[in-house]
Amino acid sequence: MIKTTFYNTHTGYLGDIQSYSCANTGYYKFIVQGAMGGEAPERTAGRAGYGAKVVAILHFNENQSLQVIVGQKGGAYEYDSAGGGASLIGASLTPYIVAGGGGGGKLGDVHDYEYLTAGGHLEEFGRAGWSTNRYALGGAPGQGGKFDGSRGLGGAGWFEDGEHHNVASKSGTKLSSSAGTDRAKGGVLEPLGYPAMEGGFGGGSATSQYTGWGCAGGAGGYGGGGGTYAREENNGNSGGGGSFVHEDGIFLVEESAIDTRDDHGMVEIIRMAKGLGFTGKADPARTTATLYADITTSVAVDLSFEYRELGGETSTSSSKEVTIDGEESIQITGLNPGTIYEYRARIDNQGDSDNMTHDWKTFRTAQEFNYEVATNEEWEQAYKKDFVKALNNKLQIDE
């Protein structure tokens, strides 16, 4: 396993498009986290939305160049707060992974469940901005978040800027490279009189003006979050940004999370030493079995098998080093005849902790049975019980 980590290069609405070159043809694991929104310092209750965490695996060819954007936190000033930026992996006009930022918040006494709206999340659309007196829709997949009709501006989506209403203010700029040099900029106030209220790089929106009452900018995301406006006595949060995984990727939902990154965003890229293509089979005898794995590898890995009687304790086979693609096998011994076993391949990256085990499969060892002296009744019972497939000096038992 070789891991590369990307952090924010600036603070505020400007940042850098970073790059990563795939060293080998193979599978890469991505951990992409959006940035949190700004928290208005004069608000005493609640908090801003946190960025989403998206974990996925994609296959790339050697020398494939990827663009990396790391979202930055939204700014805040007195009662006003701006949206956090999305983090993403892309190539030219193609998004591979987007992790939504958190919406600007802390607009009154909000409750835990309401962070599900303000925080970056795992669906592709942006969340709505809301308060007790305003509401603005989040963007549909790929689209920018909406303006709330007053002062809360929308966060950027992949294809579209966030919505805003006048030239004196700016929502987040779209995340696609079609935006040119303005790509993924956070929103700003014009003139730049309140830099603390800038939207975070990664498409986070600014508020439309300094009010002293409380405006919240929407977050950047695959779909941008909606903005909102709330006076001191009102509650609310702007919307969190949506997230995205390309259709060719494997979305590891169980490792991903909503509303989790309470800082600038971060991107980790892990070059996996093995591929995901795995077909396993077993060739069992009475007390032994040969287990097979088809694997793909770009560097040396160790292959072993975990196995156990159905519902029993797990044992691990001996291991062998694998350096080239192909089918590999390991024999295990000391098995009980006529018994169902579970087994799975384990592939260890030498010296690293990012290892892989595959799904459990099953096999049955051959029954202890002497066909030469068996009665017809014994033979019939054995046939029904053990699913005899063929007879060639020994029984071959199929699972």
For 312-341, how does the pLDDT look when each residue is reduced to its tens digit (9 = 90+)? 899 999 999 887 777 889 999 999 887 888
| Same-domain check for residues 227 and 128 | yes
pTM score? 0.70
Round the CA-based radius of gyration of the chain to a whole number and report it: 28
Find the helix or strand (DSSP H, E) in which 377 lies.
helix 376-386
Average pLDDT, integer, range 188-215: 71
DSSP 148-196: -SSSBPPPP-SSSPPP---TTB--PPPSSGGGGGGTTPPP-BSS---GG
What's the domain count of the chain? 2
In a domain, 378, yes or no: no
Same domain, 294 and 247: no
* Claim to verify: residue 176 and residue 203 sit in the same structural domain: yes
pLDDT of residue 388 exceeding 50: no
Specify which of 167-171, 217-221, 227-231, 297-301 reaches the highest per-range mean pLDDT: 217-221
**What is each CA distance from 299 to 46, 59, 199, 280, 320, in whole angstroms?**
48, 16, 42, 21, 14
Q: Which helix (H) or strand (E) holds 380?
A: helix 376-386
Res 46 pLDDT > 70 = no
Q: Which domain holds residue 51?
A: 1-272
Q: Are 52 and 257 in contact (CB under 8 A)?
A: yes
Looking at 272, 293, 321, the residue that finishes a domain is 272
Q: Are residues 295 and 317 in the same domain?
A: yes
* pLDDT, position 51: 94
Q: Would you say residue 61 has pLDDT above 50?
A: yes
Query: 113 by DSSP, 3-state: which?
Result: helix
Tell me how far apart the terminal alpha carbons of the chain are, to the nearest angstrom: 36
Whether 350 and 323 have beta carbons less than 8 Å apart is answered as: no
Residues 191 and 303 in one domain: no
Tokens matching residue 154: 């929308």
CA atoms within 13 Å, Cβ hemisphere of 134: 28
The answer on 341 and 257 residing in a single domain is no
pLDDT: which is higher, 144 or 376: 144
Q: In sequence order, what DSSP letters do the residues of 287-307 get, joined into one string?
A: S-EEEEEEE-BSS-EEEEEEE
User: In which residue are the tokens 């087994």 written?
Assistant: 343
Structural contact between residues 81 and 206, judged by C-beta atoms closer than 8 angstroms: no
Q: What is the mean pLDDT of the chain?
A: 79
More confident residue, 46 or 102: 102
Q: CA–CA separation, 49 vs 99, rounded Å?
A: 13
What's the pLDDT tens digit per position in 270-301?
887 544 444 567 778 888 999 988 776 666 78
Contact between 185 and 13 (Cβ < 8 Å): yes
pLDDT band per the 50, 70, 90 thresholds, residue 195: low
Mean pLDDT value across residues 366-393: 48
Domain assignment present for residue 391? The answer is no
| 164 and 24 part of one domain | yes
255-273 average pLDDT score: 90
The pLDDT assigned to 111 comes to 45
In terms of DSSP bridges, do strands 2-6 and 228-229 run parallel, antiparallel, or are they unpaired? unpaired
Task: Tell me which amino acid residue 64 is.
Answer: Q
C-alpha 190/C-alpha 195 separation (Å) is 10
- Could you tell me if 209 and 297 lie in one domain? no
Structure tokens at 366: 């051959």
Residues 198 and 237 in one domain: yes
Task: Please say whether the beta carbons of 246 and 93 come within 8 A.
Answer: no
Is it the case that residue 116 has pLDDT exceeding 60? no
Question: If DSSP states are collapsed to H, E and C, what string results for 212-230?
Answer: CCCEECCCCCCCCCCCEEC
Task: Please report, rounded to a whole number, the percentage of residues in the chain having pLDDT higher than 70.
Answer: 75
Q: How far is CA 268 from the centre of its chain?
A: 11
- C-alpha span between 128 and 291 (Å, rounded): 52
Residue 231, in any domain of the structure: yes
* Residue finishing a domain among 272, 304, 324: 272
Confidence band for 97, pLDDT divided at 50, 70 and 90? very high
Q: Are residues 127 and 143 in the same domain?
A: yes
CATH of the domain at 300: 2.60.40.10
Q: Distance from CA of residue 93 to its chain's centroid?
A: 20
In this structure, what are the phi and psi dihedrals at residue 6, rounded to the nearest 5 degrees?
Answer: -115, 135
Q: What is the mean pLDDT of residues 201-230?
A: 77
* Residues 295, 258 share a domain: no
- Residues 361 and 301 reside in one and the same domain: yes
Please check whether residue 387 lies inside any domain of the structure: no
Q: Which residues contact 147 (CB under 8 A, 6 or more apart)?
A: 136, 153, 154, 162, 163, 164, 165, 171, 208, 227
Residue 164 confidence class, pLDDT cut points 50, 70, 90: confident
CA 104 vs CA 39, 146, 200, 395: distances in Å = 6, 14, 10, 69
Q: What's the confidence (pLDDT) of residue 396?
A: 38
